[in-house]
Amino acid sequence: MSDMTLFKNASIASAGAKELAVSDVLIKGGRIKAVAPGLVVEEGVRVVEAGGKVLLPGLFDLHVHLREPGQTSKEDIASGSEAAINGGVTGIVAMPNTIPAIDSGGLVRSVMDIAKRNSRIPVYTTGCITKERAGEEMTPIAGMKSAGAVMLTDDGSPVCNPQLLRRAMEYAREFDLPLASHCETMELSGQGAMNEGRVSYQMGIPGIPAISEEICIARDIQIAEYTGAHLHIQHVTTARGMEIIRRAKGDGVNVTCEVAPHHLIFNEEHVIDYDTHYKMNPPLRTKEDNERLVAGLIEGVFDVIATDHAPHTDFEKRQQDFASAPFGITGLETALPSLFHYFIKPGVFGWDLLVERYASEPRRILKLDEVAVAEGSSADLVLFDPDGTTTFSRKFMCSKSCNTPFLDRELGGRVNMVMSHGEVLLERD
């Protein structure tokens, strides 16, 4: 059987290219052999008619919760990676806030071994900054690095002790590891469950003020500047927080940052009916924050789009009141269609931005090989139908959990095919 596939008349999306280029793309031996219009169909080559469809590099999510070990009723590496494929994502980075936390070389190695057995796409893992994510003692960073950890983070919690964070950044710098920061000032967040402001007062829900995030962003950036470490700020939600990062970049601080699709699309006003699918940490902020974050993404303040995919069981999310329900929503399966539906289709930004921020730059931050629709690149590809639709029913979704505001909603656009290293992992129609 031939290992050659030819996409005919595909509209190719590339970073840095404002317009889609219509061309044929030939795949052979897991790599892209040729990109040119009018390629001749050789005998034995599988032909995929891609006219009117967008061919883009496989996406890469830098911030995913897979819940393994310890909480596999919510998600595991196998189901989470299949959810990624369902959404056009061909590489993911797992957060370490599992049970037990991934805070040693042995646990990093265990997760990597499970991923090799149970995932059809590359799964990378982070390691904790502090033991058990308790914020008291630094982890054995050298052992986690040698076992394969690609980043350090206590995601879900900040490192409250600035001296401990400083030492961790110094070690991260020496081992050439980015250190990712969940920015929150716990004394300000308290028992808050949503953004503090007019809506939280009206609803009687304790709020999390924007300054809880912004103060921690400023502190962590100052420590990064002092140590020379690469600091990555996770899930930025406020315009002021974004401006702090913008200024730091202008000053030459080695800082990158990410924004989640839900913080671009939704805001505190969506929480009006106490729907726990809109409860996340950091919380949904204001409509003005939405608008300014989108502008910052277009401008280039944000390096990365990442979902913060956070699965929870139906009981946890739907059978508890808003204040008691856990934070977090799923995102791997909904990110590409939602970004297309809300931003690309109406012309807010183009495919080039999505490819740069959700495929190219995340890999670049981790010093991984670039993936592009270009001759010689690994054939990690997504074929997307802009004229199709996607309904996020429980039957459609591959994640074990369906805690998403998009549940049973229809969005424009449809992932028709996903390929990794030339192997077709998903094909519809």
Domain membership flag for residue 328 = yes
| Structural domain containing residue 115 | 58-365
pTM: 0.97
Q: Is residue 86 part of a domain?
A: yes
Is the pLDDT at 131 greater than 60? The verdict is: yes
376 vs 355: CA distance, rounded Å = 18
Q: Give pLDDT, residue 2.
A: 64
Q: Up-side HSE of residue 65: CA atoms within 13 Å toward CB?
A: 26
**244 lies in the same domain as 291:** yes
- d(CA 179, CA 189) in angstroms, rounded, equals 22
Q: In this structure, are 254 and 267 located in the same domain?
A: yes
Same domain, 67 and 24: no
Would you say residue 346 lies in a domain? yes
Q: Are residues 49 and 91 part of one domain?
A: no
280: in domain = yes
For the chain, the farthest-separated pair of C-alpha atoms sits apart, in whole angstroms, at: 68
Out of 308, 352, 380, 385, pick the active-site residue: 308
Question: Do 86 and 44 lie in a common domain?
Answer: no
Same domain, 237 and 339: yes
Q: Is the per-residue pLDDT at 357 higher than 90?
A: yes
Ranges of beta strands (E only) in 84-222 are 89-94, 123-125, 152-153, 179-181, 194-195, 207-208
Q: Domain with 209 in it: what CATH number?
A: 3.20.20.140
Question: With helix as H, strand as E and coil as C, how does 28-62 read?
Answer: ECCEEEEEECCCCCCCCCEEEECCCCEEEECEEEE
Same domain, 414 and 321: no
How much of the chain, in percent, has pLDDT values that exceed 90? 96
| 308 given a catalytic annotation | yes
CATH number at residue 46: 2.30.40.10
- Indicate the pLDDT class of residue 3, thresholds 50, 70 and 90: confident
Let me know whether 63 and 29 are in one domain: no
Is a pLDDT exceeding 50 seen at residue 368? yes
Q: What would the pLDDT profile of 293-337 be if each residue is shown by its tens digit?
A: 999 999 999 999 999 999 999 999 987 899 999 999 999 999 999
Residue 10 domain-assigned (yes or no): yes
Torsion of CA 303, 305, 311, 315, to 10 degrees: 110
DSSP code string of 330-355: --TTTHHHHHIIIIITTTSS-HHHHH
Q: Once rounded to an integer, what is the mean pLDDT over residues 7-11?
A: 98
Work out how many domains the chain is built from and give that number. 2
Query: Are 311 and 249 part of one and the same domain?
Result: yes
Question: In the prediction, which pLDDT does 429 show?
Answer: 76
Q: Tell me: do 12 and 149 sit in the same domain.
A: no
Confidence band, pLDDT 50/70/90 cuts, at residue 1: very low
Say if residue 115 is in the same domain as residue 48: no
Tell me whether residue 403 is in a domain.
no
The residue-averaged pLDDT of 383-409 equals 97
- Is residue 397 assigned to a domain? no
Question: What pLDDT, in 10s, does the model give residues 199-228?
Answer: 999 999 999 999 999 999 999 999 999 999
Both tokens of 134, joined, read: 């308790």
The whole-number pLDDT of residue 43 equals 87
Give the pLDDT mean for 30-57.
95
pLDDT of 138 above 80: yes
Residue 405 domain-assigned (yes or no):
no
Q: Are residues 100 and 222 in the same domain?
A: yes
